[in-house]
Structure 1
Amino acid sequence: MHAVQSVDDPDAFAEYLGALGRDHRKFHVLPEQYEVVGRCLIEALREYCGDQWAPEHEQAWRDAYTAISSIMVAGAEADRDNPPYWHAEVVSHERRSSDIAVLTVRPLRPLRYRAGQYVSVECRHQPRLWRMFSIANAPRDDGLLEFHVRAVGAGWVSSALVWKLRAGDMLRIGAPMGTMSLDRTSTRDVVCVAGGTGLAPLRALVEELATYNRTRWVHLFFGVRTRDDLYDLGALQRLAARYPWLSVVPAVSDDPGYDGEQGTAFEVMARYGPWQEHDFFVSGSPSMVKATLRGIADLNVPSFRVRYDSFGDVD
């Protein structure tokens, strides 16, 4: 989804590809291997397209792959001062519900990132399986990183992180990726729409705003299915009590007895407003993000004011 989001913006797409190249360093990919993969890709396309394959198709694919791989290789080369991945120790593991855990980890080397970004994570329980998780805090002086993880379906990595991981265990963390970051030059108020553990990067953005914001109102809508899924509501309410520019509205969609806002995060958000002049940040499962983006478009919010992430509940 991140590539699709930026494909119409050449600069953003190049930034994404450079970050992807940096991330591929964790697999110890060499520059010459990109050429091998490119040849295999063209051969596969030629084989499966059959008579529909034409010389102009082959040239277009070669040109596209060469451009993409060149940016990825350049991104990897520019990152040589950093390790291909970071070893990190789990310093705390807190189960917030039957299937949600909050992890705090300490990288053994400094990891520089921006609030709102995500990283790939590998654990010893599922070696060589990397999954993306958003960092739930803005950069801190102590270097600690927080992750919010829900064990989903057949998700091998997320299940291991929730049910098997313990304090003292080691993780491997890939290079930071993602462009869902704050525009510090914007003076517009902010709306954050979170679904489940998609709250993580939005909380990081709120923490960053807390370091400098004095004039922008921030409205955070935290949507879950049942009240038991409001795993971080206490922390959000403490932030709102400390910063008068922040309002937090929990929304519960499948718990009729809940004494509060009923509906999805978007449905509840739409009851407030108007929102046409706000900057939007959306994070959650792919289906939640897709539905929310459609709804925001129906509210006549320009697409360039909407940034989103879809790793919140994805293994």
Structure 2
Amino acid sequence: MAQTPPLPWSAPAQPPTTPDETSSARARVPVQRSSSRQGTLPALDTTSAPFPGLSPRDQPPSPDAVRIRRTMAEVAPVAEKVTSYFHALLFVRHPGLRPLFPASMDAQRDRLLRALLTAAEHIDNPPVLVDYLQNLGRGHRKYGTRAEHYPAVGECLIGALSKYASGSWDRETEAAWVRAYTTISQVMIDAAAADELRAPAWWFAEVVSHDLRTPDVAVVTVRPDQPYPFLAGQYTSLETPWWPRIWRHYSFASAPRSDGLLSFHVKAVPAGWVSNALVHRAHPGDVIRLGPPTGSMTVDHTTDSGLLCLGGGTGIAPIKALVEDVAEHGARRSVEVFYGARTDHGLYAIDTMLRLQQSHPWLSVRAVVDQGARLRFPEAVRAYGPWHDYDAYLSGPPGMIRSGVDTLRSFGIPSERIRHDSVEELVLAQ
């Protein structure tokens, strides 16, 4: 399979018109080199806040952060135009990079702006931002992204922003973006270079079983071509041979196994290229590609706190993996699982979860079924509380995650004890 996909923050859009080369500045972004400056943001003005005793979240925003957020606020309403223009600039100025992108750019819609918005949100919180960027840098290895690609991307990104944020764009704003992008790209490059020393950019994996549980849900089990280390509760990206360079994210449906096999629960969704291929086209013997594992929805085995787990639809997959993980560590901590679906048909894994309950007296599994399951989920969970001493885990549709986090906070569970899949990645898991 091809080894060439999108560049950093590539966010496809509809084919744009050829840009006017004179209408956007060619900002000079320095060529990046791998360095030892891991875990820092040295070039970005995030340390100039005058209150060193405060946490990053409580610090007044730095001047660069103010300018960057002002830019993002201005371009957000025209995000599609910005991403279209960005790619037009990139392909006109650097036509040799076009083959690195998927044939159809629609599959990558909005990824650039999502990444920028995430970076802008945490621009004054280096620990959070660095962790996000390091994951992004490691993940881009599977795309074939190299250090020398970053200046071209930065140049065209700033060109697109300057065109569509003309109301707030000035020399100081451009300088802030050059500093930010230079530092951001360096963190990504460093993370990729470090990861290259210990792991491949991707793994080939052969499909060994394909269990169609419902007409649109399949449990797909694969055997990687080499050891694949991961933690229960994490997720990875998958690429199928039918849609080269199109990657989608799926959670592992089991804890690490002695035989090395990996399982995924996949629901085919309308217009979902990867999901439909995995559910309706994949068969034993087919070979897919896996990106590196990522995600922090993992169990802290240094405590004996109870686990409150909410899984909606195929979101039960990582919840099942967490239960297996607790069992393998020999703990007897309380684990309460709420398995939600709109109909009985959606509880495709209920027999598996009930068998786990029969084997482990510390585990309770409750099904929540209703046409308005997402609305009843909070009430069902509340009825069995209190939960303030529990660590909470959520996995399911983005809407369930967003409302579930607010509900759990209302139960008295602090934010730092609530873990869930990345909502941004869930939107793209099709």
* TM-score between the two structures when normalised by the length of structure 1: 0.92
Matches within 5 A, 1:1-315: 7=122, 10-80=126-196, 81-254=198-371, 264-309=376-421, 310=423, 314-315=429-430
Once structures 1 and 2 are overlaid, which stretch shifts more, 104-113 or 59-68? 59-68
Query: In 2, Cα distance between the equivalents of 1:312 and 1:249?
Result: 24
Quote how far apart the aligned CAs of 1:33 are.
Answer: 0.9
Q: In the alignment, residue 221 of structure 1 is paired with which amino acid?
A: F
Query: Judging changes above 3 Å, is the alpha-carbon distance between structure 1 residues 20 and 58 closer, same or farther for their aligned structure 2 residues?
Result: same
CA deviation string 1:120-146 (max 9, x = no partner): 101112222110111111111111100
Quote how far apart the aligned CAs of 1:61 are.
Answer: 1.9
Matched residue SS, 2:214: coil
Q: Tell me the C-alpha RMSD between the 2 structures.
A: 2.3
Give 2:52's aligned residue: none
CA contact (8 A) 1:119 1:176 kept: yes
Quote how far apart the aligned CAs of 1:177 are.
Answer: 1.2
Query: In 1, Cα distance between the equivalents of 2:125 and 2:339?
Result: 29
CA contact (8 A) 1:20 1:177 kept: no
Q: Greater CA radius of gyration, 1 or 2?
A: 2
Matched residue SS, 1:210: helix
CA contact (8 A) 1:134 1:312 kept: no
Q: In the alignment, residue 157 of structure 2 is paired with which amino acid?
A: L
Matched residue SS, 1:87: strand
Query: Judging changes above 3 Å, is the alpha-carbon distance between structure 1 residues 39 and 175 closer, same or farther for their aligned structure 2 residues?
Result: same
CA deviation string 1:82-117 (max 9, x = no partner): 221110000000010111000000001111111111
Query: Judging changes above 3 Å, is the alpha-carbon distance between structure 1 residues 112 and 9 closer, same or farther for their aligned structure 2 residues?
Result: farther
Matched residue SS, 2:296: coil
Q: In the alignment, residue 324 of structure 2 is paired with which amino acid?
A: E
How many equivalent residue pairs?
310
CA contact (8 A) 2:203 2:225 kept: yes
CA contact (8 A) 1:226 1:254 kept: yes
Which protein is richer in strand relative to its size?
1
Unaligned runs of 5+ residues in structure 1 are 256-260
Query: In 2, Cα distance between the equivalents of 1:12 and 1:234?
Result: 39
Quote how far apart the aligned CAs of 1:40 are.
Answer: 1.3
CA contact (8 A) 2:143 2:245 kept: no
Unaligned runs of 5+ residues in structure 2 are 1-113
Query: In 2, Cα distance between the equivalents of 1:178 and 1:17?
Result: 13
CA deviation string 1:37-95 (max 9, x = no partner): 11211111112212420222222222222222112111111121322111000000001
Quote how far apart the aligned CAs of 1:174 are.
Answer: 0.6
Quote how far apart the aligned CAs of 1:213 are.
Answer: 4.2
Query: In 2, Cα distance between the equivalents of 1:283 and 1:103?
Result: 19
Quote how far apart the aligned CAs of 1:207 are.
Answer: 1.0
Q: In the alignment, residue 288 of structure 1 is paired with which amino acid?
A: M
Matched residue SS, 2:419: strand
Quote how far apart the aligned CAs of 1:161 are.
Answer: 0.7
Once structures 1 and 2 are overlaid, which stretch shifts more, 208-217 or 8-17? 8-17
Query: In 1, Cα distance between the equivalents of 2:397 and 2:245?
Result: 23
CA deviation string 1:151-202 (max 9, x = no partner): 1121111011111111111101111111111112222111001110011111
Q: In the alignment, residue 300 of structure 2 is paired with which amino acid?
A: D
CA deviation string 1:252-288 (max 9, x = no partner): 1229xxxxx9964333212210111210010111111
Q: Kindly, what percent of the aligned residue pairs are identical?
A: 44
Query: Judging changes above 3 Å, is the alpha-carbon distance between structure 1 residues 170 and 251 closer, same or farther for their aligned structure 2 residues?
Result: same
Quote how far apart the aligned CAs of 1:9 are.
Answer: 5.9
Query: Judging changes above 3 Å, is the alpha-carbon distance between structure 1 residues 264 and 72 closer, same or farther for their aligned structure 2 residues?
Result: farther
* TM-score between the two structures when normalised by the length of structure 2: 0.68
Query: In 1, Cα distance between the equivalents of 2:260 and 2:268?
Result: 26
Quote how far apart the aligned CAs of 1:312 are.
Answer: 6.2
